[in-house]
Structure 1
Amino acid sequence: MTIPQTMIAARMHTVGGELRLETLETPRPGDMDVLVRVKACGIVPNLGNILANWTTWFPHMPLPPLPAVFGLDPAGEVAAVGRQVHGLKPGDRVYVNPGRSCGSCRHCRRGDTISCKHYAFQGYFGFSEHAMQTFADYPGGGLSEYMVAPASAIVKIPDNMDYGQAARLGYLGTAYSALKKVNAGPGDTTLVNGISGTLGIGAAIFGLAMGVNKILGTGRDKKLLEEIKALAPNRIEVFSITDGSVADFAMKHTDGEGVDAFLDCLGPGGLHETFRQGLLSLRRGGIAVDIGAIAGPVEIDVHRLMDRNQRLYGSAWLTTAEGQEMADMVGSGVVDLSLLETQSYPLADVNSAISGIAQRHGGFSNYVICP
C-alpha cells in the first residue's frame, strides 16, 4: 500500500471555532503502533458540546492542545505497522479504540487501563491534567485521512460489519461494558433509562444478544419507544416518563421484586428524578450503572443502598477486548447492526454535519465522516 507524504485533516484552532481542512504530514507509526487509513469516523450529538463548551463546563478534563485533529470513533484499513507489531498487517479492516493509557502504572499492568490517571480519548478529551502526556504521544483523532494508534487499541472487524457500523462501536461498547459489569444474562430483567438514545439502543441490542430475558426501556418519545419495542416485542417493554413513575413501571413488570440491573443512559441534561426512580426500581442485591453522565449532584439514599445490598457503578467506556467481543458477535450473526441508519458525509462537510446532528432519528441514526 502506497502511503502519501501528506494527508487532509480537519483541525480545530480555537474552542468553538469551525474545523479547518488542512494539509498535514502523514504520521508514521512507532514500533508498536499501526497507521490506519480512516474510512469512517463516528460523530455523536455530544461532539458539538465538546468542541464549543467543554473547557467551560469541565475545566478539569482537558482538550488536546490546539490546533488539534478531533474524531473519537474511527474505523478503517491498516496501512502500515510498526516493526514490533506481528498480529496485524496492511489491509486488515479495523476499529480503533480511542482510549489511551500509560501502559505501565499498576492499573494498566493489571488490565484496568480506564483507571489509569493518564487515561484520555485520542481525538476527544482527557480525564485529568495527566492526559496531556497522552495527547503528546497520540495527538491526532479520526477526522483525518490517516491516524496512528497503538496496536493494543485495534479491534479487527468482520466482513459483514461495514465501516460506518464499526464507527459506532465506542458508544455501543459503552453499553456493552455496562451490561458485562452487571453480569447480564438469561433470567435477568434490566431497566434502561434513555433506551431510544445513542447509548440506550446499544443496551437493547447487546442485552438481547446476551440473553437478558426482559428489557424495560424508558424515554420520552413514544414513537421511538415503540420502534425499540419492535426489536423484540416479547422481551422488551417500554414506558414514557411523561406517563408516570418509572419505579411503578418496573415493579409492575417484575411482580413487585424489582429489576436485576439498571443502566442509566441519560446525558448531562437528564432529570435527576428519573435517575433516582431507576435506583428505586432495583431488587435487593441489584446493580446500577451510570453511563450517560447526568450532570450535577444527585441526592441518593445511601442507607437504603446499603440495607438492600445494592451496588452503583460509573462506567466510562469499553476495553479493546470488549470491542473485539462485540465485533465477533456481529461476525457470528449473534448481533445485527443493520438497524443503524448510517448517514455519511465527506470530510469537507464536517462542520455542517456536526451542526445537523440534532435532526436525528434517536439512537437509530448513525452519523459518520468519511475522510
Structure 2
Amino acid sequence: MISTMRAARMHNVGEPMKIEQIPVPVPGPGDVRVAVHAVNIVPNLANILSNWTTWFPLNPLPPLPAVFGLDPAGVVEAVGAGVEGVEVGDRVYVNPGRTCGACRACRDGRIVQCASYAFAGYFGFSATSIRLLDRYQGGLAEKMIAPATALVHIPDSLSFEAAARFGYLGTMYSALRKAAAGPGRSVLVNGITGTLGIGAALLAPALGITTLYGIGRDRELLAEIDKLAPGRLRLHSLHDGPVDEWIAAETGGQGVDVYIDALGPGAPHETLQQGVRALARGGIAVNVGAVAGEVPLDLHRMMDMDQTVRGSVWFTPGEGQDMADMAAAGVLDLSPLRHHVFPLDEVNTAINNVGSRHGGFSNFIISPVSGH
C-alpha cells in the first residue's frame, strides 16, 4: 500500500508552490478518495495565491502549507464508511464547494449559502470556513479526499480535461438558471469571450436560448464565439458603442430579460451599468464576474421597472450533474475548448502562463496522474 503521494503545496503567500511527498489522505465516513487526472488552473488563481490575504483578510486561505487546486476531475479509488451510490472506478468531477451540513441554510438545502461555505483548494467565505479548508485540500496532488455528496458523475464521452472546466461553466449555468434563462427570454452576457462568458455560448443550445446577446472587446474573439451557436448569437464589440444603445436598437427599445455580468474585479463599472440599463421591464441582472467596488445604480428606475440585481456564487453538485447529463446527451459540446496540459512538476509555469490564454477557449490543466 503506497503511503505517500506527490503534491504541489504553497508554504507562504506569494511564493511558488513546491512539489513534495505527503501522506496519502484517508477517506473518513461519508468521504471518498479520488485519483486526480486533471485540475483546471483558473485565471484568478495567481491573484488568490499572492493577494488574497491583503484584499480579503476576513476570508481565509487554507492553513499553510496547503494543496490548492479548485477544479479536479478523476477516478474514485477508495470509498469511506457509509457512502452510497459511489463505486471504485467511477469517473467524477469534484465540486470544491464544502459545507458544514448542519446550519439552517444547509438543512434548508441552500448549500451555497452555508455559514461556513468554502472552496476546497482555494479560500473560504467566513472565519468558520477554516475547519473545512483544513479537512479538505485541493486537487493539485495525485490523490484527494472529498465528501461523496460533492461528486458529479461524468460520462465516458467527456474527457477529464473538459470536466475540469465545470467550475466556471457551472458558475454561468447557475446564473442562467437563477434568471430563468431559456426559450422566449432574451439574454445579454458581458464578457462573452472570457473564461466565464464563453460558458453562456456553450450552454445556449442545451438551455434552448433562442437569442443570446454577447459583448466583448476583441473582434477576432467575438468572431470565433459566433461559430459556437450559429443563428443564436448577436455579438457587439465595446469599441462600437455603448451596450445599452446597441440593445435598444436590437430590441426596438424593449431591452433584454436577463443581463449577466461576467467581467472580473479589475473591470470598469460603466459596462455593468450599461447592461443594467439595457434590461426590460421585470428584467434581472446577475453578477458572476466579481466586479469590485461600489457601483452606482439608478434604484428608483429599477423600482419603477420592477427589476432585480443579484449575485450568484458557484453552483451545486446537482447543477454539475445537469451539465454532465447534457454532455452525455450531446447537447453540451465542450470540444471547442483548447486544452493546455502540464504535468504537476510544471504547476508554477502553468499558473504564470494562464495570462496568455486565448480568451475563454484556453483551458489550462495540470495532470497529476497520467494514463487517462
Task: State the TM-score, normalizing by the size of structure 1.
Answer: 0.98
User: Do structure 1's residue 214 and structure 2's residue 228 form an aligned pair?
Assistant: no
Question: What is the CA–CA distance in structure 2 between the aligned matches of 1:330 and 1:313, rounded to whole Å?
Answer: 28
| Alignment check: 8 A CA contact 1:285 1:310 kept | yes
The AA in structure 2 aligned to 1:329 is M
Question: What is the CA–CA distance in structure 2 between the aligned matches of 1:60 and 1:235, rounded to whole Å?
Answer: 42
SS in 2 for 1:130: helix
| Alignment check: 8 A CA contact 2:202 2:229 kept | no
Question: What is the CA–CA distance in structure 2 between the aligned matches of 1:159 and 1:255, rounded to whole Å?
Answer: 46
SS in 1 for 2:73: strand
SS in 2 for 1:187: coil
The AA in structure 1 aligned to 2:223 is E
Count of matched residue pairs? 368
Question: What is the CA–CA distance in structure 1 between the aligned matches of 2:292 and 2:118, rounded to whole Å?
Answer: 20
Provide, for residues 112-167 of structure 1, a one-character-per-residue CA deviation record: whole Å limited to 9, x for no partner. 111111000000001111111211332x1000000000000000000110000000
SS in 1 for 2:127: coil
1:242 corresponds in structure 2 to: 239
Structure 1 unaligned spans of 5+: none
1:61 corresponds in structure 2 to: 59
User: Do structure 1's residue 271 and structure 2's residue 268 form an aligned pair?
Assistant: yes
| Alignment check: 8 A CA contact 1:179 1:207 kept | no
1:354 corresponds in structure 2 to: 351
Task: State the TM-score, normalizing by the size of structure 2.
Answer: 0.98
- Report deviation, 1:233: 3.3
- Report deviation, 1:203: 1.4
Could you tell me which of 102, 107, 110 is aligned with 1:109?
A: 107
SS in 2 for 1:192: strand
SS in 2 for 1:185: coil
1:150 corresponds in structure 2 to: 147
Question: What is the CA–CA distance in structure 2 between the aligned matches of 1:58 and 1:154, rounded to whole Å?
Answer: 28
- Report deviation, 1:255: 1.8
Question: What is the CA–CA distance in structure 2 between the aligned matches of 1:137 and 1:39, rounded to whole Å?
Answer: 21
Provide, for residues 300-320 of structure 1, a one-character-per-residue CA deviation record: whole Å limited to 9, x for no partner. 111111111011110010000
User: Do structure 1's residue 251 and structure 2's residue 279 form an aligned pair?
Assistant: no
Return 126-135 or 19-28, whichever deviates more: 126-135
Alignment of 1:219-234 (within 5 A): 219-234=216-231
**RMSD, matched Cα:** 0.8
Could you tell me which of 319, 326, 329 is aligned with 1:322?
A: 319
Question: What is the CA–CA distance in structure 1 between the aligned matches of 2:355 and 2:233, rounded to whole Å?
Answer: 26
The AA in structure 2 aligned to 1:348 is D
Question: What is the CA–CA distance in structure 2 between the aligned matches of 1:198 and 1:4, rounded to whole Å?
Answer: 37
Question: What is the CA–CA distance in structure 1 between the aligned matches of 2:163 and 2:194, rounded to whole Å?
Answer: 18
The AA in structure 1 aligned to 2:364 is Y
| Alignment check: 8 A CA contact 1:194 1:264 kept | yes
Question: What is the CA–CA distance in structure 1 between the aligned matches of 2:251 and 2:34, rounded to whole Å?
Answer: 47
Could you tell me which of 289, 295, 301 is aligned with 2:298?
A: 301
Question: What is the CA–CA distance in structure 1 between the aligned matches of 2:140 and 2:104, rounded to whole Å?
Answer: 32
SS in 2 for 1:238: strand
Return 230-239 or 356-365, whichever deviates more: 230-239
**Identical-residue share of aligned pairs (%):** 57
Question: What is the CA–CA distance in structure 2 between the aligned matches of 1:313 and 1:205, rounded to whole Å?
Answer: 23
Provide, for residues 205-236 of structure 1, a one-character-per-residue CA deviation record: whole Å limited to 9, x for no partner. 11232011111101111100111112223210
Return 57-66 or 290-299, whichever deviates more: 57-66
1:23 corresponds in structure 2 to: 21
Question: What is the CA–CA distance in structure 2 between the aligned matches of 1:45 and 1:121, rounded to whole Å?
Answer: 15
Structure 2 unaligned spans of 5+: none
| Alignment check: 8 A CA contact 2:204 2:229 kept | no
Question: What is the CA–CA distance in structure 2 between the aligned matches of 1:271 and 1:209, rounded to whole Å?
Answer: 31
